[in-house]
Amino acid sequence: MKTPTKLLLMLLLLSPTMSFAAEHSQHAQAPAAASEYKYKTPKLNRAQFDALLLKPAELVVIDVRRPDELTTKGGFPVYLSIQATEIEKSVDFIPKDRSIVTVSNHAGRAGAAADLLAAKGFKVVGAVGALNYEEEGGKLTKIAPVKPKS
């Protein structure tokens, strides 16, 4: 075989492999896109959330994380703790006369909970990620779990 023919044959044989590699590369990037914020409720940054915190009488902060996340990662000093899985069952206990901000680690669960509350008529103004808030220079309160009496 002549060299150009060998080269053409090699390219034809490698093209499915290269196509698979390119396709695999696109799938490897898919999880990053899946973790993008995709909710109707605005995702708040630190400055936006801090501005809302200046009017505590008008605001309810609902943290939708599990208790172990609150103790290990930290949270805000005052909040209503309702886990994401319990939001729909708890709507009767959430004040309707205040603006609501939901909180989770990176605002994913907070966005979902916020959209659900907005659909039920609550005045939801945003969702915030506690860890994003901390990354932007905000301070979280670390809450130590209560040790049972022996």
Q: Identify the pLDDT of residue 124.
A: 98
Cα gap 44→125, rounded to integer Å: 9
Give the model's confidence band at 3: pLDDT under 50 very low, under 70 low, under 90 confident, else very high: low
Q: Which of 5-9, 43-47, 48-52, 97-101 has the lowest mean pLDDT?
A: 5-9
- The pLDDT, as a whole number, for residue 19 is 37
| Beta-bridge partners for 129 | 104
CB 126 within 8 A of CB 49: yes
Which of 136, 144, 141, 145 lies closest to 61, judged by CA?
Answer: 141
Range 46-135: architecture per CATH: 3-Layer(aba) Sandwich (3.40)
What is the helix (H) or strand (E) element at residue 16, kind and residue range?
Answer: helix 3-34
